[in-house]
């Protein structure tokens, strides 16, 4: 059975997940008008290294930075740059770590207020859809149960689900089996077993589900250039309730969607 983790591995994954969660919060505290996304990237790299880990994304398949920072209509994999944040932006921050031979991975979409009510709803529903998916991450279910829960919540609120990008297993590799799509049918896909570590990460769009890749070879953008949101947590499948390793609690201590 692939991707079943030992208790020791789960403990190390938990350490990575906690560091990723605290790194996202550290970045979030600095999200304000006038700050460049490269500055945020530098803050994250320093924080991760200060805590004895290395950035999980830096150099991964040639990726040039510590964070993926995706602004507004950028869905994921936005490369940090000299771009300075401004009021009304939504800022998806995806962060990875590597520590003791295993990886951590989590993402959160922040807002630079004020933002419009439709965008506020997009952020709220995308985060809710993540938790709907996590509720299904229990032993005996199938990946499609997670996928269906995410899709149903997003689409019932009038949003669209990106098809080409998926969640994934995590461990000694950043991306392991199984793939975890954000759309699909109940009772379909690989069976979930206790001890499987997976990243669930809804990528939900305000407009069309269609996306394209920018010329930089990384940045994914919505086809209609309307906003997209992205939230991600790492969980371990268990019998009655998933063990959620990463957390947004450090962010919620200071940040509230306004």
pLDDT digits (tens, 9 = 90+) for 202-256: 999 999 999 999 999 999 999 999 999 999 999 999 999 999 999 999 999 999 9
User: What is the model's pLDDT at position 221?
Assistant: 98
Structure tokens at 222: 């919505």
Instruction: Quickly state the pLDDT bin for 1 (edges 50, 70, 90).
Output: low
**What does the alpha-carbon distance between residue 258 and residue 114 come to, in Å, rounded to a whole number?**
7
Q: Taking the CA atoms of the chain, what radius of gyration do you get in angstroms?
A: 17
CATH 3.40.50.720 for domain 7-252, yes or no, is no
Give 168-196 pLDDT, tens digit per residue.
999 999 999 999 999 999 999 999 999 99
DSSP SS3 for 202: coil
Answer whether 213's CB lies under 8 Å from 178's CB.
no
Please state whether the predicted TM-score (pTM) of the whole model is above 0.75. Answer: yes
Lookup result for tokens 């032993």: 139
The percent of residues above 90 in pLDDT, for the chain, comes to 98
Closest CA to 170 of 239, 79, 106: 106
**SS3 state of residue 180:** strand
SS3 assignment, position 100: coil
Q: Where are the domains of the chain?
A: 7-252
């Amino acid at each position: 059975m692939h991707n079943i983790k030992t208790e020791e591995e789960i403990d190390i994954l938990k350490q990575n997940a906690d560091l990723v969660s605290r790194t996202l919060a550290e970045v979030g505290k600095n999200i304000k008008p006038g700050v460049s996304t490269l500055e945020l990237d530098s803050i994250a790299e320093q924080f991760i290294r200060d805590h004895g880990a290395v950035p999980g994304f830096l150099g991964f398949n040639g990726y040039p930075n510590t964070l993926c920072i995706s602004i507004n209509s950028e869905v994921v994999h936005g490369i940090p740059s000299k771009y300075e944040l401004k009021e009304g932006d939504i800022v998806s921050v995806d962060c990875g770590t590597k520590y003791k031979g295993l990886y951590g991975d989590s993402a959160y979409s922040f807002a630079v207020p004020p933002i419009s009510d439709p965008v506020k709803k997009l952020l709220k529903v995308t985060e809710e859809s993540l938790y709907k998916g996590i509720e299904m991450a229990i032993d005996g279910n199938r990946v499609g149960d997670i996928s269906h829960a995410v899709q149903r919540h997003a689409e019932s609120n009038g949003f669209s689900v990106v098809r080409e990008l998926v969640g994934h297993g995590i461990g000694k590799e950043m991306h392991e089996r199984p793939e975890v799509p954000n759309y699909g049918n109940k009772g379909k896909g690989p069976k979930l077993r206790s001890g499987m570590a997976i990243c669930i990460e809804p990528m939900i769009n305000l407009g069309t589900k269609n996306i394209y890749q920018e010329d930089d070879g990384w940045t994914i953008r919505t086809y209609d250039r309307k906003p997209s949101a992205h939230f991600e947590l790492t969980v371990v499948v268990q019998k009655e309730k998933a063990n959620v390793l990463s957390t947004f609690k450090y962010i919620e201590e200071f940040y509230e969607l306004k």
